[in-house]
Structure 1
Amino acid sequence: MKTHGALGDRLILASACLLALVWMAPLLWVLALSFKPNDFLAGRTDVLFSPPFTLKNYTDIFGTSSVFRWIINSSIVAIAQTALTLVLSTLAGYGFARTEFPAKRWWFAFVLAGLAVPEQAIVIPLHRLFADLDLHNSYSALVLPKLAAPFGVYLMTQYFKAVPKDIEEAALLDNTPRWKVFWRVVLPLSLPAQATLGIFTFLNAWNDYLWPLISASQPEMYTLTLGLAATQSNFAQSEGIGYLMAQAVFAGLPIFIVYLFFQRHIVQAVAGTTVR
């Protein structure tokens, strides 16, 4: 029995490694092409890990005069969206999970219905709203529309429901105000879920392209994804495939670094939301 169990574990491990390799293959392909000369890639793209190599694709990115301004814009937008989304989603999630108010289930269903509304369906109303308010080409216009986060409310609600009520009831019996119970007891327990929501929010904010394309018409307000896209004309004939791949790596590197620091919290949050 032990032999069969060990063999099964090895097969599962081998399958997981194989799936991980398949998942990583496109990423490795993009990374390898980003270090290839564009004139070489014009002839072939199947030679990945053998010479020639070059850093010119990355130096061309830093040679763009506005690239650091775009990085600052993306950082401001992503950090602001993440912080405000965490505050709003955490408060709303705690309210749905632990408090009673009229038509609570209907309100929760209304929030979840937002998951079914595609972003493209509300682009025109949002554009007209922010145009009437004269907020386009500002950080407010890039941040505010994304603060409505049905997924964040759902995630935090489910996580707070998984927290044992006994922990709060013990504090409430001592006549501790609910806001203190939330701040000192419940909120620290929700850090894994907040880390997960923060990563997803930061990822979406950093990679967002559609709304900045509509709202930011001035180059000084471009985010990194919009700015890099603006430098591309016909990439196969001008900038080259290697330059395009270097842009993809450059734009995705901050997200990869953030995930490395918080991946443990993601696992904890997913495990916590499955508890009933």
Structure 2
Amino acid sequence: MKRTFGDHLILALLIAAACVWMLPMLWVLAMALKPNAMLVQSTSGVLPWPHTFEHFAALMRVSLTPRWLLNSLLVAVGMTALTLVLSSLAGYAFARIAFPGRRAVFLLVMAGLMIPEQAVLVPLHAMFAGWNLHSTYFSLIAPRLAVPMGVFLMTQFFKAVPRELEEAAELDNAGRLKVFWSVMLPLSRPALTTLGIFTFLYAWNDFLWPVVTAAQPEMYTLSVGLGSLQGNFAMSEGLGFLMASAVFASAPMLIIYAVFQRYIVQGIAMTGGK
């Protein structure tokens, strides 16, 4: 289909908006690659010349940075996998299984969207302190597994799947679990990918709960660990070190989003069912 002048104008405006949106990221990257001697004189410009990787090398020389990176990967991957399991099971139950009180339970789950995480911070801290589970991977992962938005996303997706597909499987004597595993889960790949990406990014960026539960530096996630460096050490290393830490922490998120962005669009489009 031939594009009109209006289509070209909209495309040009979107490209311009994208360039403006990317300028701060390019500026941060440029400062991360500039020597501190240049940054002392001026922080303007997005062309890092002359450039240096010393700030990134200094960041990796911090003894616990690799451990913090490993902690973030373990927490993000574990939280993502468990969230996908729980949300898909709950979403399928709400969408397809007519059990007593289904509507009331679903509304109760959705009510969790209205409760800010700060409101349950003190009870969570007291609970895990009573169990003596602070500074463990369990304490970093478990409180974030209750994801009402994930349940809602999977429920809406399963509602949009034609019932005829399930009925065809049931005619072949497939049980409820078999239908879920062999029919519904393969069809829900776009929604699962979308939920997985959002969960991973949330887990990677999470700061409030990890800074509460991770009392030992060895259990810091990357966001908490790099935040702890933005004191005397960062001041001694200069502005370039701070920008390098920001690039180091955000690079995995940008890569994941760039690779899986089409699945996000598909997943959101396919969850608009009745």
TM norm structure 2: 0.95
Aligned partner of 1:25 among 18, 23, 26: 23
Aligned partner of 1:44 among 38, 42, 45: 42
Provide the alpha-carbon RMSD of the alignment: 1.6
Q: Is the 8 A contact 1:235 1:241 kept in 2?
A: no
The yes-or-no answer on 1:249 pairing with 2:247 is yes
In the TM superposition, residue 40 of structure 1 has moved relative to its aligned partner by 2.0
In the TM superposition, residue 86 of structure 1 has moved relative to its aligned partner by 0.4
Q: Which amino acid aligns with 2:142?
A: L
Q: Which amino acid aligns with 1:33?
A: M
Q: Which amino acid aligns with 1:10?
A: H
Partner of 2:194: 196
In the TM superposition, residue 265 of structure 1 has moved relative to its aligned partner by 1.3
Aligned partner of 2:154 among 153, 156, 167: 156
Aligned partner of 2:6 among 8, 11, 15: 8
Q: Is the 8 A contact 1:235 1:244 kept in 2?
A: no
Consecutive unaligned residues in structure 2, runs of 5 or more? none
Q: Which amino acid aligns with 1:31?
A: L
In the TM superposition, residue 237 of structure 1 has moved relative to its aligned partner by 3.9
In the TM superposition, residue 238 of structure 1 has moved relative to its aligned partner by 2.5
Aligned partner of 1:35 among 26, 33, 36: 33
The yes-or-no answer on 1:186 pairing with 2:184 is yes
Aligned partner of 1:71 among 49, 63, 69: 69
* CA–CA distance in structure 1, aligned partners of residues 152 and 78 of structure 2: 20
* CA–CA distance in structure 2, aligned partners of residues 28 and 51 of structure 1: 13
Aligned partner of 2:225 among 220, 224, 227: 227
In the TM superposition, residue 260 of structure 1 has moved relative to its aligned partner by 2.7
Consecutive unaligned residues in structure 1, runs of 5 or more? none
Q: Which segment is superposed worse, 129-138 or 166-175?
A: 166-175
Written as runs of structure 1 = structure 2, the 5 A alignment for 1:58-207 is: 58-207=56-205
Q: Which amino acid aligns with 1:110?
A: L
Q: Which segment is superposed worse, 5-14 or 131-140?
A: 5-14
TM norm structure 1: 0.95
In the TM superposition, residue 103 of structure 1 has moved relative to its aligned partner by 1.7
